[in-house]
């Protein structure tokens, strides 16, 4: 297992306090990883700044070729990446191998192609004697910060476009799920010039905060909570950094009276509960027409009860546990508050599962109204409400 951060061309241990990385299936410690110190964050940013001088002048064709090499390496090491991701997140291994890795590899290949086909508005003589045009230049050093729900995929979404565009990056994975990013660092170090990608570890309030406030970081890209996005905007305003925010979600599904209920149920079982609902696009609040409401709730309840999880044979599992005890407590408290309201019913699920690990039973709540917290707030767990 790779445990060292990548700063410039050096693989190095963090000099800050350690964070415990858990296996969410059984709650056991996988490894303790120290986070970056302030000096190490500085070094990573300065390495990216130095690398930008040369990297920003490379041609799209050159960068494209290197991104394709990165894609090939991830593909050839897919089995090890999938195992690490499954270990760190508790995801069923088949979901990582079949759904995530192909999409991750494709993301690097997509941007390898896209950067060679950049559109630009027409140039023209808008002022007499002058030619005006728009050209696309890299921004500089990008501070990229990822959440824990799709660690390797989020790294791809952040790194591939930034690198394709000629930027250099300091990447911080979630403090809870750094293992695949540390493995990925080896691939970057083998293929890219020194300092183009740096991978540092640490918590949001210490390392993340130092990164987003760093004067030499030109752009911040973050996927995470809305509250975190707000902090990024505040930090960016101070030195006018560019930002890219992907924050929370609460995807609605509207079911009309003439809908094919079995098809709706089949799809809700997947899109409401995939990745144990830890998904900003989870189909988590259903609005059902009166005429089909009861039938939908009954059939959906059966489908939710059939979701397989926590089985010894991982190839049979459809969903995994939640990422942490803290996240499970959070999900549990949402359901508890809903169940205390008389107009709502927990039709199935509604409690933790198992003696170890961070499992929560797939849960269906009916009778929810538009004002209810369960309809308004993102739960980020295997909980779907019907209104």
- Applying CB under 6 A, among 34, 58, 93, 203 the residue interacting with ligand NAD is 203
- In whole angstroms, the minimum distance from the beta carbon of 148 to ligand NAD comes to 5
Give whichever of 64 and 278 is closer to ligand NAD, judged by the CB atom: 278
User: Distance between the two ends of the chain, CA-based, in angstroms?
Assistant: 46
| Contacting range for ligand NAD; rule: CB under 6 A; set: 140-148, 182-190, 258-266, 304-312 | 140-148
For strands 345-348 and 363-366, give the pairing. Answer: antiparallel
CB 198 within 8 A of CB 8: yes
Residues in CB range of 298: below 8 A, 6 or more apart: none
Q: Is 88 in the site for ligand NAD (CB under 6 A)?
A: no
Could you tell me if residue 253 is left (phi over 0), alpha (psi between -120 and 50 degrees) or otherwise beta?
A: beta
Which residues are catalytic, by number?
246, 280
What is the rounded CA–CA span in Å between residue 93 and residue 87? 9
Say whether 32 sits in a helix, a strand or coil: strand
Should residue 147 be labelled a site residue for ligand NAD when binding is judged by CB under 6 A? yes
| Among the listed residues 167, 322, 380, 384, the single contact to ligand NAD using CB under 6 A | 380
| CB nearer to ligand NAD: pick between 35 and 49 | 35
Which string of DSSP letters, residue by residue, matches 51-110? HHHHHTTS-HHHHHHHHHHHHHHHHHTHHHHHHHHHHHH---HHHIIIIIHHHHHHHHHH
Q: Is 225 in the site for ligand NAD (CB under 6 A)?
A: yes
Applying CB under 6 A, among 61, 102, 249, 252 the residue interacting with ligand NAD is 249
Q: Does 274 bind ligand NAD (CB under 6 A)?
A: no
Indicate the helix (H) or strand (E) that contains 288. Answer: strand 283-288
Minimal distance, residue 27 CB to ligand NAD, in Å: 18
Minimum distance from CB of 264 to ligand NAD (Å)?
24
369: Cα separation from own chain's centroid: 30
Q: Which two three-digit tokens encode residue 251? A: 């995807």
Judged by CB under 6 A, does residue 378 bind ligand NAD? yes
Q: Work out which of 189, 198, 218, 228 binds ligand NAD, going by CB under 6 A.
A: 228
Shortest Å distance, C-beta 280 to ligand NAD = 3
Query: CB neighbours (10 Å) of residue 117?
Result: 7
User: Which DSSP symbol is given to 259?
Assistant: S
Among 148, 273, 309, 334, binds ligand NAD (CB under 6 A): 148
Which residues contact residue 306 at a Cβ distance below 8 angstroms, ignoring those fewer than 6 apart? 269
* Sheet arrangement for strand 168-172: 10-12, 5-7, 197-199, 168-172, 141-145, 219-223, 242-246
Q: Any contact of residue 24 with ligand NAD (CB under 6 A)?
A: no
Neighbouring residues of 240: CB distance < 8 A, sequence distance ≥ 6: none
* Closest approach of ligand NAD to the CB of residue 103, in Å: 13
Nearer to ligand NAD, 159 or 265 (CB): 159
Q: Kindly state the smallest distance separating residue 98's Cβ from ligand NAD, in Å.
A: 20
State the minimum distance, in angstroms, from the CB of residue 230 to ligand NAD.
9
Q: Where do the DSSP E strands lie in 146-241? A: 168-172, 197-199, 219-223
Task: Kindly tell me which of 207 and 264 has the beta carbon lying closer to ligand NAD.
Answer: 207
Q: Does 174 interact with ligand NAD (rule: CB under 6 A)?
A: yes
Least distance to ligand NAD from the beta carbon of 211, Å? 7
Going by C-alpha positions, the residue among 368, 362, 340 that lies closest to residue 253 is 368
The span of 21-29, 103-111, 141-149, 309-317 binding ligand NAD (CB under 6 A) equals 141-149
φ, ψ dihedrals at 281, nearest 5°: -110, 15
Determine the size of the site formed for ligand NAD (CB under 6 A).
27
Site string for ligand NAD, 205-224 (x = CB under 6 A): x--xx--x---------xxx
DSSP 8-class letter at 135: -
Tell me how far apart the alpha carbons of residues 193 and 6 are, in angstroms, rounded to a whole number.
12
Nearer to ligand NAD, 174 or 348 (CB): 174
Residues in contact with ligand NAD by the rule CB under 6 A:
145-149, 172, 174-175, 203-205, 208-209, 212, 222-225, 228, 231, 246-249, 280, 378, 380
């Amino acid at each position: 297992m790779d445990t060292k951060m990548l700063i410039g061309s050096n693989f190095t241990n963090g000099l800050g306090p350690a964070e415990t990385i858990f296996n969410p299936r059984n709650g056991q410690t996988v490894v303790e990883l120290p986070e970056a110190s302030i000096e190490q964050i500085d070094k990573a940013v300065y390495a990216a700044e130095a690398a930008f001088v040369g990297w920003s002048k490379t041609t799209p064709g050159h960068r494209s070729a290197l991104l394709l090499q990165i894609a090939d390496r991830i593909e050839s090491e897919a089995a090890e990446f999938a195992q690490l991701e499954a270990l760190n997140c508790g995801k069923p291994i088949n979901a990582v191998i079949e759904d995530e890795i192909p999409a991750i590899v494709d993301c690097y290949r997509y941007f390898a192609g896209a950067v060679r086909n950049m559109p630009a508005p027409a140039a023209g003589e808008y002022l007499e004697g002058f030619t005006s045009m728009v050209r696309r230049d890299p921004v500089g050093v990008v501070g990229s910060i990822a959440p824990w729900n799709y660690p390797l995929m989020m790294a791809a979404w952040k790194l591939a476009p930034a690198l394709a565009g000629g930027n250099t990056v300091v990447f911080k994975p979630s403090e809870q799920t750094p293992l695949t990013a540390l493995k990925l660092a080896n691939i970057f170090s083998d293929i890219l010039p020194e300092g183009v990608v740096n991978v540092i570890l640490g918590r949001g309030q210490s390392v993340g905060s130092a990164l987003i406030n760093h004067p030499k970081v030109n752009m911040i890209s973050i996927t995470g909570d809305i509250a975190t996005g707000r902090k990024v905007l505040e930090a960016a305003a101070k030195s006018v950094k560019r930002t890219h925010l992907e924050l929370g979600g609460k995807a609605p599904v509207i079911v009309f009276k003439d809908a094919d209920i079995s098809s709706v149920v089949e799809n809700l079982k997947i899109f409401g509960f995939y990745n144990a609902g830890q998904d900003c696009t989870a189909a988590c609040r259903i609005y059902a027409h009166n005429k089909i409401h009861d039938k939908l709730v009954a059939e959906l309840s059966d489908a939710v009860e059939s979701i397989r999880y926590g089985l010894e044979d991982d190839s049979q599992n459809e969903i995994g546990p939640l990422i942490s005890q803290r996240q499970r407590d959070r999900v549990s408290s949402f359901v508890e508050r809903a169940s205390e309201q008389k107009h709502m019913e927990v039709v199935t699920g509604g409690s933790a599962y198992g003696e170890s690990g961070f499992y929560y039973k797939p849960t269906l709540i009916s009778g929810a109204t538009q004002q209810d917290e369960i309809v308004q707030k993102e739960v980020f767990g295997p909980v779907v409400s019907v209104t």
